[in-house]
Each structure stands twice: as structure tokens, then as C-alpha cells.
């Protein structure tokens, strides 16, 4: 099981070329919403078939490399290639041939995750983990065969690989996922690599002058070490600023195999010593107590700097929640979250994440609710969306909380320790004081199937805690599907703000929600049965005794993007250009 996620991280990078990939947008996807296509997403990235996961990067043209099994829908440890797709806008994608295949002694048992870096002169390089002939994990480099090919279709793996063999103090199956490289003031390249060193989950730093010979530095003091976390993987390390500002902090993100979650810490990075000092040391040494990138169902996130819009873009992989037999029947499994812009909150401690603005190119019909609509206790108001928007939608709502008087009091602070558990105990149908209020989405006409995305305010002494939940327990009548209540706290001063925003992206079998302007994100995979025969409905509701007001509500129907489309012959259409 844990192995499933080993391979996860990926990359992108960009070229100096504007792609003219046409975005043929199809509305009305319901006609093809039959059989195995029913769960296929309309605007989330996925290959046409077979197993995938992993992310991306940059300039005029975006490239996404991802873990791909050319032979089947499941993860096959020995046959992993790097799939490759390109896009002009991060929304519409065309599939190219695989970029890397396990054909060399240093990767003969699989091309696992890695990253791309743009070297001076605009030449991209890929660093990736190969499973060599001895089944050891080693780090390799690859370069484009023809750097002037705008699509960078073919990649060469130099014979001098591996560039970083397995270190003597690291087990053969615990050394992987080189990050995108960064340059220090000393002019040397650095990368982060995950390794278990003497039983300790470590994020090691390697340095290089020429990108080919790499030395492990600060062996005694890796960027991060978690003693009890087990193996961590897919490290991501990047500078962040407040929106549009100067770089003020760095973020270290790791994916923890033990919990299958992504955690991050904001901190200060000193490239003279390659030391990373957490901004919240009180969260402890164990990365499992850091902030969560997403409180739902994602893993192996990866980010890149989008030079075109000078922004940090984060993607994560959301695997399926039904069975492997379902994966095989569908012919594919796993999607990427919609790309998110990430930046540093004013508090200097947390990231804000928000769907990239390009999603607006997909917006079609808009639905709303009158500003100032009051939601009294027990209110349930349908948003006149129906049709396509119920399955392919983008909803943004802002609630005003006139009073916090009625917030539910909590005496035992321990009951505020586990937000997911709290969401399980206090669902949308458990009336409260301030909340639960929020959205009901992907609902059948009789509400028998529905997913509630909502907030609830608690008071402990003089502090308010804002809980956000995505409750999947009633999302589908189908058995054998993972349907937990997900939850996280939104870290904001609700007393001062008095308003709370919620944005939810709905795309057939994936739902992404952003609470409090992107302070808390919850991604979920959902498999409602009613969509095969009827529309999905959408509502706002309030089950708290305190009235809340809808300051604004906009819901859009989204068009279907062109994503690695399957041709009539069943083959993945490839973008070929001489
Ligand atoms: C790769 O896939 C092929 C075809 O499915 C299979 O025969 C082979 O055993 C796989 N190789 C490994 C190393 O798993
Ligand atoms: C994929 O999702 C299932 C839940 O259906 C979970 O049990 C499994 O651990 C997930 N795998 C990864 C790698 O996240
Ligand atoms: C609100 O609570 C009542 C009482 O438990 C319940 O019947 C109703 O379904 C709840 N509303 C929502 C939207 O869950």
C-alpha cells in the first residue's frame, strides 16, 4: 500500500515558446456521461488512460511530467515511465510520448519521481529517481535531446548516470524524489532529496557546481529530520512572499508515507549554512504536526514557479477512493488537483491556496443568490443551478456571521485537537449555535445522496475556533467506497473578520474546497450514483441557531477542457507536430 505513493512527485517546466494549443471547449458533457466515462473529470488533469500522479512547470508552455504506467491502470512498481503533457494555459492539455522509460541499467526497474529545473540559457534538466538493476534507488539526470524542440519530446539519459548513487548509510529502498534545484549565493546548485538515514526520515541537501557531480552537504544537519515519522518523500522547497511582494520566507513540504498526507512548514532559510529555521518551532520536530497542505485526499504535491505570471503554483495528486477493480474497469486512476496559486498569508505562518485564475476561461452560465439573503436556523436554499453546474461547477460564497454569541462552548481543549473526528461527531445534521452552515453539493433530488461542505464555530475560553468539514458519509449510496468526514481548522480571526468565504470546485468525481480565502483546503473524491440518471443539485444551508447572511454567492457552470482526450479508436490523441 505504502508503495503506491512512493512514486509520486513530478514536475514541470517551461519553454520559451508560446504554444498554440487550441482549447476546444465542449459544453454539455452529460451525453457522454455513461459507463466508465461517468467519473472522468472535465477539467482536472488526468491521462487518457492508465495510472498517473505527479505535477509540473513553465514559460509560455507548461509541461507536466507524471508517473505513468503505459501497461495498465494500476501502479506497477517495475514499469513506471514518465508521462508528458503540454499546455499553453494550465487548463487544456495535450499528451506527448513518454519522456522517460525504464530502459537503462540505472532505471531498469522504474523511473520514479523527480523534478525539472531550468538551467542558465533556458536548458531544462530533469532529475529523477531510478530503480537500478540491483533494485536500489539512485538519482539520475536527463536532458532534452533537442533543446530547440518547442515540445521537448525526447529526453536523453547520459551514460554517466547515476549522478548520485545510493549512500552507504541509506537503505536501498529509501532514497528518492530529488527536488527542483535552486542556486545559492555561492553559485552552487542545491537539491533536496528524501532519505532514511539511520532510521530517521531526512531531507538531505546535495550541492553541485555543474549539475552533474553532486556532494551531500551538512550530513549531520539535513534541511529537516523527523525521528519518528518513518519515511518521508517528495520534498518541495521554495521561497514565498506575500502577494506580489519580496521573498520573505521559505516553505518546506514533505509527504509522509505513514499518514499519506502532505505537511508544510514556513521558515527562514540561510543558504550560507543551508539551515532551515521553522517559523513555528512550537509545532515540534515531527513533521506530522506541521500544517496540512490539504485536509482531504491528496498526496505528493509539487509546486513550480510560473515565470509567466510570477506566481507559485501547487498541484497534488488525488487518488481514487473506490476499488482497484474499478480502476481497471475505468482504464485509469488518479487525477491532479486543479492548479493552485500559493502565497504567504499576512501572518507569515501559513500558505493561502486558490485555484489559478485561468479557470475563469471555463466559466459559462452563472447563477446567484440575492445579496444579503438570510439563512435562519434550518434554512436550505437551492441555488438555481441544476444541469451541468451540479457536476461541473465553481461556487464562491461569502457568509457573514452577525454574532458569535451562540458559538458552541467547549471546556475540554482536547476535544478541539482532532478536526476530522469533530466533523464526524458534529455533522451538518447536528444543529449547533454558529453553524453548521455552508454548501450541500452533488445532491440527488431527494437529498438521499449529498456532500456537505460547511463551517462551525466553537468557543474555548475567549478563543473562537473555526472548523471546516467536507462530509462524504452521505455522498454515495455505493458500498466499498472510502467516505470519511474530512476536517480542518481555518486559521483566521473570525471575531475580527465576521465573514468567511467558501469556494468549491466540482468536477464529476473530485471536489476541492477552499475555506477562509484558501487558508484551509479539502479535496475529496466522490462517486455519487444518481449522476448516471439525474441532475445534481446544489444548496446553501444553515443548521445553527444564529442566523447567517449570504454576502455574495456566484455559481458557474464550467465548460469541459481538452485534457489528453481519448480518440475514437480508444487511443490517447497525441500532439504531433513536425
Ligand atoms: C512490466 O509490464 C510487463 C507487461 O505487463 C510485464 O510483463 C512485466 O513483468 C512488467 N515488469 C516488471 C518489472 O514488473
Ligand atoms: C488512495 O486512496 C485510498 C482511499 O480510497 C487510501 O486508502 C490509499 O491509501 C490512498 N493511497 C494513497 C497513496 O494516497
Ligand atoms: C439540519 O438538521 C436537521 C435536524 O438534524 C436535519 O434533519 C437536516 O437534514 C439538517 N440539514 C442539513 C442540510 O443537513
Give Dmax over CA atoms of the chain in angstroms.
Answer: 69
Give whole-number Cα distances, 516 to 331, 356, 360, in Å.
37, 16, 20
**What does the pLDDT read at residue 385?**
60
Report how far residue 290's alpha carbon sits from residue 281's, in angstroms, rounded to the nearest whole number: 10
Which residues have C-beta atoms less than 6 Å from ligand 3?
380, 428-429, 431, 440, 452, 541, 543
- Evaluate whether 530 touches 33 at the Cβ level (below 8 Å): no
**2 C-alpha to ligand 2 centroid (Å):** 9
Instruction: Report CA 90 to chain centroid distance, whole Å.
Output: 14
Beta strands in 101-223 (DSSP E): 111-119, 123-131, 137-144, 155-156, 175-176, 182-183, 189-197, 200-208, 214-217
Can you tell me the mean pLDDT for 81-105?
94
Measure Cα distances from 417 to 17, 437, 465, 487 in Å.
49, 21, 11, 11
Query: Is pLDDT above 60 for 54?
Result: no
- C-alpha 482 to ligand 2 mean position (Å): 9
Closest CA to 118 of 247, 274, 311, 307: 307
Task: Report the residue count for the chain.
Answer: 578
Distance of CA 22 to CAs 91, 114, 362, 563, Å? 11, 29, 13, 11
Q: How far is the CA of 379 from the centre of ligand 3 (A)?
A: 9
Distances (CA, A) of 80 to 83, 326, 564: 9, 21, 19
- Total-model pTM: 0.91
Task: Look at residue 147 and give its three-state secondary structure.
Answer: coil
Res 13: pLDDT: 28
> Which strand (E) or helix (H) includes residue 422?
helix 419-425
Task: Please determine, for residue 436, whether its predicted confidence score (pLDDT) is greater than 80.
Answer: yes
Task: Kindly report which listed range (50-59, 62-71, 84-93, 130-139) carries the lowest average pLDDT score.
Answer: 50-59
Q: Is 78 in the pocket of ligand 1 (CB under 6 A)?
A: yes
Average pLDDT, the chain: 86
Query: CB–CB of 428/378 below 8 Å?
Result: no
Residue 10 has pLDDT above 60, yes or no: no
Pocket test for ligand 1, best of 76, 77, 135 (most atoms within 8 A of CB): 76
DSSP 324: H
How much distance in Å is there from the Cα of 318 to the middle of ligand 3? 29
| Domains, the chain | 118-355 (2.115.10.20), 363-558 (2.60.120.560)
Write down the pLDDT at residue 489.
Answer: 98
Over range 351-378, report the average pLDDT: 95
pLDDT band at 51 (very low <50, low <70, confident <90, very high): low
Q: Which ligand is nearest to the CA of 102?
A: 1
* Contact indicator for 293, 301 with CB cutoff of 8 Å: yes
Q: Give the closest residue (by CA) to ligand 1 atom 13.
A: 78
- In angstroms, the CA 436 to CA 175 distance is 45
- Residue 71 Cβ < 6 Å to ligand 1: yes
Q: What is the pLDDT of residues 335-350, one digit of tens each?
A: 899 999 999 999 999 9
- Identify whether the C-beta of residue 335 lies closer than 8 Å to the C-beta of residue 511: no
Q: Which atom of ligand 1 is nearest to the CA of 76?
A: 14
Q: Which among 143, 151, 144, 155 is positioned nearest to 210, based on CA atoms?
A: 143
Residue where the block lists cell 467516505: 483
Nearest to 254 by CA among 316, 211, 297: 316
Amino acid at each position: 500500500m505504502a508503495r503506491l505513493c512512493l512514486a509520486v512527485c513530478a514536475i514541470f517546466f517551461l519553454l520559451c515558446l508560446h504554444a498554440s494549443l487550441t482549447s476546444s471547449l465542449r459544453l454539455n458533457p452529460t451525453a457522454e456521461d455513461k459507463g466508465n466515462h461517468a467519473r472522468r473529470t472535465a477539467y482536472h488533469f488526468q491521462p487518457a488512460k492508465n495510472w498517473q500522479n505527479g505535477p509540473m512547470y513553465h514559460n509560455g508552455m507548461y509541461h507536466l511530467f507524471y508517473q505513468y504506467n503505459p501497461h495498465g491502470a494500476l501502479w506497477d512498481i517495475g514499469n513506471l515511465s514518465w508521462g508528458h503533457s503540454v499546455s499553453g494555459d494550465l487548463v487544456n492539455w495535450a499528451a506527448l510520448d513518454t519522456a522517460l522509460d525504464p530502459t537503462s541499467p540505472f532505471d531498469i526497474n522504474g523511473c520514479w519521481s523527480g523534478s525539472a529545473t531550468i538551467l542558465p540559457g533556458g536548458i531544462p534538466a530533469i532529475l529523477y529517481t531510478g530503480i537500478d538493476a540491483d533494485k536500489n534507488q539512485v538519482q539520475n539526470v536527463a536532458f532534452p535531446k533537442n533543446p530547440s524542440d518547442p515540445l521537448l519530446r525526447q529526453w536523453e539519459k547520459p551514460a554517466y548516470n547515476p549522478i548520485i548513487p545510493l549512500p552507504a548509510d541509506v537503505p536501498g529502498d529509501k532514497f528518492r524524489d530529488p527536488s527542483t534545484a535552486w542556486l545559492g549565493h555561492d553559485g552552487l546548485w542545491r537539491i533536496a532529496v528524501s532519505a532514511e538515514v539511520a532510521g530517521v526520515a531526512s531531507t538531505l541537501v546535495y550541492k553541485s557546481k555543474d549539475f552533474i557531480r553532486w556532494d551531500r552537504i551538512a550530513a549531520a544537519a539535513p534541511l529537516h529530520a523527523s525521528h519518528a515519522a518513518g519515511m518521508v518523500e517528495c520534498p518541495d522547497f521554495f521561497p514565498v512572499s506575500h502577494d506580489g511582494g519580496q521573498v520573505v520566507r521559505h516553505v518546506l513540504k514533505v509527504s509522509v508515507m505513514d499518514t499519506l498526507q502532505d505537511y508544510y512548514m514556513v521558515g527562514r532559510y540561510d543558504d550560507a549554512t543551508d539551515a532551515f529555521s521553522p517559523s513555528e518551532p512550537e509545532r515540534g520536530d515531527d513533521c506530522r504536526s506541521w500544517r496540512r497542505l490539504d485536509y482531504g485526499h491528496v498526496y505528493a504535491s509539487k509546486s513550480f514557479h510560473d515565470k509567466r505570471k510570477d506566481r507559485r503554483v501547487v498541484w497534488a495528486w488525488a487518488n481514487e477512493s473506490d476499488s482497484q477493480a474499478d480502476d481497471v474497469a475505468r482504464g485509469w486512476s488518479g487525477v491532479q488537483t486543479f492548479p493552485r496559486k500559493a502565497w504567504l498569508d499576512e501572518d507569515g505562518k501559513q500558505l493561502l491556496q486558490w485555484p489559478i485564475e485561468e479557470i475563469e476561461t471555463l466559466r459559462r452560465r452563472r447563477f446567484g443568490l440575492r445579496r444579503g439573503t438570510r439563512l435562519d436556523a434550518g434554512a436550505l436554499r437551492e441555488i438555481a443551478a441544476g444541469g451541468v453546474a451540479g457536476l461541473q461547477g465553481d461556487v464562491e460564497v461569502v457568509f457573514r456571521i452577525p454574532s458569535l454569541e451562540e458559538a458552541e462552548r467547549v471546556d475540554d481543549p482536547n476535544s478541539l485537537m482532532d478536526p476530522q473526528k469533530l466533523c464526524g461527531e458534529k455533522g451538518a445534521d447536528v444543529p449547533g449555535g454558529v453553524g453548521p452552515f455552508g454548501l450541500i453539493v452533488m445532491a440527488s433530488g431527494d437529498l438521499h445522496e449529498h456532500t456537505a461542505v460547511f463551517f462551525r464555530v466553537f468557543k474555548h475560553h475567549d478563543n473562537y475556533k473555526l472548523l471546516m468539514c467536507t462530509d462524504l458519509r452521505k455522498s454515495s449510496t455505493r458500498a466499498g467506497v472510502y467516505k470519511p468526514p474530512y476536517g480542518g481548522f481555518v486559521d483566521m480571526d473570525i471575531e475580527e473578520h465576521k465573514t468567511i468565504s467558501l469556494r468549491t470546485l466540482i468536477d464529476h468525481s473530485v471536489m476541492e474546497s477552499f475555506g477562509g480565502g484558501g487558508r484551509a483546503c479539502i479535496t475529496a473524491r466522490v462517486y455519487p450514483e444518481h449522476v448516471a440518471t439525474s441532475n445534481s443539485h446544489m444548496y446553501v444551508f444553515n443548521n445553527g441557531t444564529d442566523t447567517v447572511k449570504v454576502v455574495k454567492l456566484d455559481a458557474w457552470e464550467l465548460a469541459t477542457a481538452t485534457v489528453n482526450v481519448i480518440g475514437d479508436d480508444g487511443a490517447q490523441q497525441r500532439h504531433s507536430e513536425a
